[in-house]
Amino acid sequence: MNAPAEPAGEVAYAAASGLLGSFWLLVAIPLASAAVLLLLGRRADRWGHWLGVAAIGAAFVLGLTYFFQLRGLENKSAELSLWDFIAVGDLHVDFGLLFDPLAAVFVLLITGVGFLIHLYAVEYMAHDEGRRRFFAYFNLFVAAMLLLVLGNNYVMLYFGWEGVGLASYLLISFWYGRPSAATAGKKAFLMNRVGDAGLAIGIFIMFATLGTTQYDEVFNGVGSLTGTTVLVLGLLLLLGAAGKSGQFPLQAWLPDAMEGPTPVSALIHAATMVTAGVYLIARSNPVFSANSTLQLVVVSVGALTLLLGCIIGAAKDDIKRVLAWSTVSQIGYMFLGVGLGGGAYALAIIHLLAHGFFKANMFLGAGSVMHGMNDQVDIRRFGGLSKYMKVTWITFMMGWLAIIGLPPLSGYFSKEPIIVAAFTRDDWTAWLFGGAALLGAGLTAFYMTRLFVLTFHGPKRWTEDIEHPHESPKLMTIPLILLAIGSVVAGGLMVWNDGLASWLTPVLGEAGEEHHAVLSHTVITILSLVVTIAGAGLAWSLFRNGTATEPQPASVLVTAARRNLYTDAFNEAVFEKPGIFLTRALVFLDNRGVDGLVNGLAAAVGGGSGRLRRLQTGFVRSYATSILTGALLVVAAFLAVQAGWLA
């Protein structure tokens, strides 16, 4: 493994020309499709879903074409400045796009895997009355993610960032008639606002200190910033990344996002939203590489989150929530990689791309199981499904073997190098972070094997009068097969002859001076395989004969894991309840204080004027009496003054 690279030289991008001058279509096509589906309304119900699929398919074909065009360019970048987006005083922001090696691989992931998920969703959502609206939101989601990765400055990234947040809210709460779905959508939206606020403040700091938000200008100016400024800026970017990618301490929204339709879960976890945080840190690598403390924080967040996700995932019984916590954990590995810096930036991106295949495969496989089991999600009530759903079983098996990291599947080639890299730090933290990554590998093998065995093997535990397992239609199984193939071969292809790492060098920089791991590469690899096989073997031996269909008394650790290690309780106690108390106190102050004062003055004026109106009787003798009384009072006061009584 290589140490963090030395700061790169001047960053510069070339203006797009020729065919690459039209790569703005990558964003425009799915965005236009979403607009058409939303504006036409019910008139597009019968064919709208196919328009949504075609839009993403067209974007994938274009992305592939632009990818090969980019390979032929010497500087490996193409930049477009479409128009002035913001021009206020000294602040000038272009609506600009950048197509470079990092953006290109994300475009292929988003549109390629996204196309298969769209195709799957045609059948999965076939009986839903809102299918046309669903595909409109789906296209909007992809368009926002493409803008996020193609923007040439942080404002454009933020524009796509917020678009992804909006689309995820619409999709997670798509079945808003269910209180759980509506609540999950709000939870995701609000927790992401915390991270988004950090990213926004970071962008403000860029402009305040560097006078720009353009990538090349920011990266070239990092060397002029103080260490404290770089640290604060990086922590704010990390906060934004943690929100979108479901990393500690903002991970609680991600498992609850399973309340949306299963294709939404696949798109969020495999190709779009949760990968945004990793992209942000990788894109901002000159910032993070400039401060070792900042890198240590990123590595710590990744290591903590990967273990947290593993432990909680091992105690869940909902098939989609187990997969959701596995995403939290696998993204933790990616944060570990980008935090290590240097050559590990590329390792994190390789794992991200491989993860896109096997996680989409397993989420869609989970949807296939639910489709065949009357929407049952409790793995304790499955068992023996390999006999009834052979395609789903085999394709899910490929995803399972890939994520636990058995050779020669993708996960081995993408995750094992990150574990090795974690052991290359030049102090005692090599043992800490390397040990965490190694332990995570064993735990991943355990809980993913538990999921696989309880779902597809052992005795059947379903209720035959309710569930009738059967294989899914071809429109659902074909994407599963293609994703399963990617789960097997993608990792090996990406690391072949350092192909992807070399491709990303213009963006992520050359690897720096090589450090030796505290253990040899061979020893770490053997240890990784041993703990993986041990974890998988333990789970197989414990669950091959099934499990109880009802909750059983559990140990303290299992109980804590079932309650998400009390992270939700912590958030409620520290943030939610004090927030509710503060809100109620402010409402009380507003009602009784501000409104009370205003209403009191109004009542006093109204009451006083009412009493004064009683003096207006219309009778002359009443007015004469009033005048006489006033005159007597004036005379009495005058005499009192003269006599010195009031002196």
- 503-522: per-residue pLDDT in tens? 999 999 876 555 677 888 89
How many other CB atoms sit within 10 Å of the CB of residue 375?
A: 11
The pair of structure tokens assigned to 288 is: 């993070």
Please give the pLDDT value at position 426: 81
Q: Taking a C-beta distance cutoff of 8 angstroms, is the pair 253, 187 a contact? A: yes
Name the H helices within 457-520.
474-495, 499-508
What percentage of the chain carries pLDDT values higher than 70?
A: 97
The pair of structure tokens assigned to 353 is: 């791309």
Interval 583-605 mean pLDDT: 86
Please give the pLDDT value at position 634: 87
Instruction: Name which of 409, 407, 414, 388 is nearest 398 in CA terms.
Output: 409
Average pLDDT, the chain: 91
Instruction: Say if residue 570's pLDDT is above 90.
Output: no
**DSSP, res 88:** E
Q: Residue 646 — pLDDT band, cuts 50, 70, 90?
A: low
Beta strand 91-99 with 78-88 is antiparallel
Tokens 């507003």 belong to residue: 590
CA dist., res. 256 & res. 459, Å (int): 30
Please give the pLDDT value at position 513: 55
**DSSP, res 619:** -
Interval 39-51 mean pLDDT: 94
Interval 220-241 mean pLDDT: 95
Which residues is 84 bridged to in the sheet?
94
The pair of structure tokens assigned to 270 is: 């495999």
Tokens 């409104």 belong to residue: 595
Please state which of the ranges 192-206, 310-324, 583-597 shows the lowest mean pLDDT: 583-597
Residues 6+ apart with CB under 8 A from 75: 12, 13, 14, 506
Q: Residue 361 — pLDDT band, cuts 50, 70, 90?
A: very high
CA dist., res. 560 & res. 548, Å (int): 19
Q: Residue 330 — pLDDT band, cuts 50, 70, 90?
A: very high
From residue 101, how far is each of 14, 146, 350 by CA, in Å?
13, 14, 13
Q: Taking a C-beta distance cutoff of 8 angstroms, is the pair 111, 65 a contact? A: no
CA dist., res. 548 & res. 374, Å (int): 20
The pair of structure tokens assigned to 419 is: 């574990």
More confident residue, 210 or 1: 210
Instruction: Name which of 322, 374, 546 is nearest 456 in CA terms.
Output: 546
From residue 424, how far is each of 432, 491, 520, 528 by CA, in Å?
11, 22, 10, 15
- For 96, the enclosing helix (H) or strand (E) is strand 91-99
Please give the pLDDT value at position 3: 44
**DSSP, res 82:** E
The pair of structure tokens assigned to 138 is: 């789906």
Instruction: Name which of 511, 529, 308 is nearest 424 in CA terms.
Output: 511
Instruction: Say if residue 478's pLDDT is above 60.
Output: yes
The pair of structure tokens assigned to 103 is: 């953006």
Instruction: Say if residue 6's pLDDT is above 60.
Output: no
CA dist., res. 252 & res. 256, Å (int): 7
Tokens 């935090």 belong to residue: 339
**DSSP, res 153:** B
Please state which of the ranges 194-208, 470-484, 497-511 shows the lowest mean pLDDT: 497-511
Q: What is the pTM of this model?
A: 0.90
Instruction: Name which of 434, 168, 184, 410 is nearest 276 in CA terms.
Output: 168
More confident residue, 581 or 400: 400
Instruction: Say if residue 347's pLDDT is above 50.
Output: yes
Please give the pLDDT value at position 158: 96
Instruction: Say if residue 230's pLDDT is above 60.
Output: yes
Interval 295-310 mean pLDDT: 96
Torsion of CA 104, 108, 109, 112, to 10 degrees: 170
Instruction: Name which of 461, 454, 362 is nearest 404 in CA terms.
Output: 362
Instruction: Say if residue 464's pLDDT is above 80.
Output: no
Interval 242-268 mean pLDDT: 94
Residues 6+ apart with CB under 8 A from 404: 411, 441, 444, 445, 448, 449, 532, 535, 536
Residues 6+ apart with CB under 8 A from 55: 29, 30, 32, 33, 139
Instruction: Say if residue 418's pLDDT is above 90.
Output: yes
Strand, coil or helix: 514: strand
Instruction: Name which of 311, 313, 351, 357 is nearest 334 in CA terms.
Output: 351
Interval 623-633 mean pLDDT: 83
More confident residue, 519 or 372: 372
Q: Residue 647 — pLDDT band, cuts 50, 70, 90?
A: low
Q: Taking a C-beta distance cutoff of 8 angstroms, is the pair 325, 255 a contact? A: yes
